[in-house]
Amino acid sequence: MQQVSDGNLSFDIDKLWSDLQTKVDRMMVQIGDKSPHVARGDGIYDNNPTDAWTSGFWPGMLWIMYDMTGKEHYKQAAWHWDRNIEEHFVKPSNLYHDVGFQFLPTAVIKYKLTGDADARRIGLEAANFLAGRFNIAGNFIRAWNTIPGAWHEGNTGWAIIDCMMNLPLLFWASEELKDPRFKHIAMAHAETALKHFIREDGSSCHICCFDPETGEFIREIGGQGYAAGSAWSRGTGWALYGFSAMYRMTGQIRFLDAAKRVAHFFVANLEEDNIPLWDFRVDDREEAPRDTSAAALAASGLIDISKYVPASQAKLYINKAKDILRSLTHNYSTWDQPDHQAILLQGTGHKPLGSNINVSLIYGDYYYLEAIAKLMGWNKNMF
Residue pLDDT, tens place only, 101-137? 999 999 999 999 999 999 999 999 999 999 999 999 9
Confidence at residue 149, expressed as pLDDT on a 0 to 100 scale: 76
Confidence at residue 9, expressed as pLDDT on a 0 to 100 scale: 53
Q: Can you tell me the distance from the alpha carbon of 19 to that of 41, in angstroms, rounded to the nearest whole number?
A: 23
Query: 71-75: which pairs have CB atoms within 8 A and are 24 or more residues apart?
Result: 73/25, 73/28, 74/24, 75/113, 75/114
Name the pTM for this structure.
0.96
Q: Give the chain's residues under pLDDT 70.
A: 1-11, 151
Residue type, 151: W
Handedness of CA 305, 309, 314, 316 (dihedral sign): negative
Annotated catalytic residues are 98, 162
Q: Which CATH class is domain 13-375?
A: mainly alpha
The number of residues in the chain equals 383
Confidence at residue 294, expressed as pLDDT on a 0 to 100 scale: 98
